[in-house]
Chains A and B, each alone.
Chain A
């Protein structure tokens, strides 16, 4: 059974619950708060800031970044290589705008998976080539039981529905219920901002 965004499962407003949820039963975020990368020094941070909107489209982009942060191009490249190897930078390349390329159906699929199965579920869903992001997030019981988030992109609604079905098949009984929240408008989208 496929539930869709707009279905009333996942209701969240409770009468009188006007304040921000305190997140009952919520596990401690593994990565919140302090940076996972205490090894980042001031110059690394300056490079992150200088490149978050992208590298300049000029013949020598790393030289331009080097000039901005006050070091050599060789140092910028060496530091970016190190950040890449450390996993701080996931990849360097062209970042396509899915929406502009016709992928109008941006679906946030959310799955209710028991905590003891979430690592296995994440491994399976994260391995699907059409899933662009796959994250565990805290559930907010009783209204929001969904703990596994997977993003899909499609040019047609029917294709998006098929992708959701493929995730459902891949999870089988590990999923106790799910929703798909399609985006109806992009109100703001920028790169990392610090």
Chain B
């Protein structure tokens, strides 16, 4: 990853241009051609450094979502983790170092549909599922300052 990749990643986490040819606008500020910017972004997306180029939506924009957690017995963790990840409504699923070892985000078209997924996971695993919906958010999301050294 060279300096231009680093600038692309750090400087354009917000204010992506809403113009017909946004990558050309990025290219101009970086002193590159539009094609070079497209090639770099394709590479950075392919190798995983960039998850996507696009909009970050506020939670609950459309439908409902929640953060859920459960404590899977260590010997059942793999099975439970696979079961949870298999739901299309589960978009994040992390193993964390705690007795509550599985943390996942459920997003669905309605709050009722979110609750139905939690109830289903609870019924299928026999485990208590903690429902921790967002009550308030305090952070103005301006992106994340990446430190490169």
Contact surface of A with B, Cβ cutoff 8 Å = 4-6, 8, 10-13, 17-21, 23, 27, 29-37, 40, 45, 48, 51-55, 57-63, 73, 77, 80-81, 83-84, 87-98, 100-101, 106, 108, 118-119, 122-123, 125-126, 129-138, 140, 144, 149, 153, 179, 181-194
- Add 14 more A-B contacts to A5-B97, A32-B133 (CB < 8 A): A21-B129, A32-B111, A37-B62, A54-B52, A55-B52, A88-B57, A89-B55, A93-B15, A95-B56, A97-B49, A101-B9, A101-B146, A126-B137, A132-B139
> A19: which of B20, B128, B140 is its contact (CB, 8 Å)?
B128
**Residues 1-42 of B at the A interface (beta carbon under 8 Å):** 8-9, 12-16, 18-24, 34, 38, 41-42
Q: Beyond A90-B57, A100-B49, A122-B138, is A137–B133 a contact (Cβ under 8 Å)?
A: yes
CB distance from B100 to the nearest CB of A (A): 5
CB distance from A56 to the nearest CB of B (A): 9
CB distance from A41 to the nearest CB of B (A): 11
- Of all A-B residue pairs in the complex, the 10 with the closest CB atoms, nearest first, are A54-B52, A126-B138, A122-B138, A33-B111, A91-B14, A54-B54, A5-B97, A188-B93, A185-B95, A100-B48
Contact mask for chain B residues 117-135; partner A; CB cutoff 8 A; 1 contact, 0 none: 0110010001111111111
> B97: which of A37, A80, A92, A184 is its contact (CB, 8 Å)?
A184
Residues of B within 8 A of A63 (CB): 20
> A92: which of B9, B54, B94, B145 is its contact (CB, 8 Å)?
B54
Verify if B79 is at the interface (C-beta below 8 Å from A).
no
B135 touches A184 (CB 8 A): no
**Residues 88-120 of B at the A interface (beta carbon under 8 Å):** 88-100, 102-104, 107-111, 118-119
Residues of A within 8 A of B119 (CB): 20
> B141: which of A31, A61, A90, A130 is its contact (CB, 8 Å)?
A90
A94 touches B13 (CB 8 A): yes
A97 touches B51 (CB 8 A): yes
Residues of B within 8 A of A119 (CB): 136
**Residues 49-86 of B at the A interface (beta carbon under 8 Å):** 49-64, 66-67, 69, 71, 81, 84-85
CB distance from A44 to the nearest CB of B (A): 9
B64 touches A33 (CB 8 A): yes
- A54 nearest in chain B by CB position: B52
A29 to B14, CA, bound (A): 29
- B101 nearest in chain A by CB position: A184
- B110 nearest in chain A by CB position: A33
A193 touches B107 (CB 8 A): yes
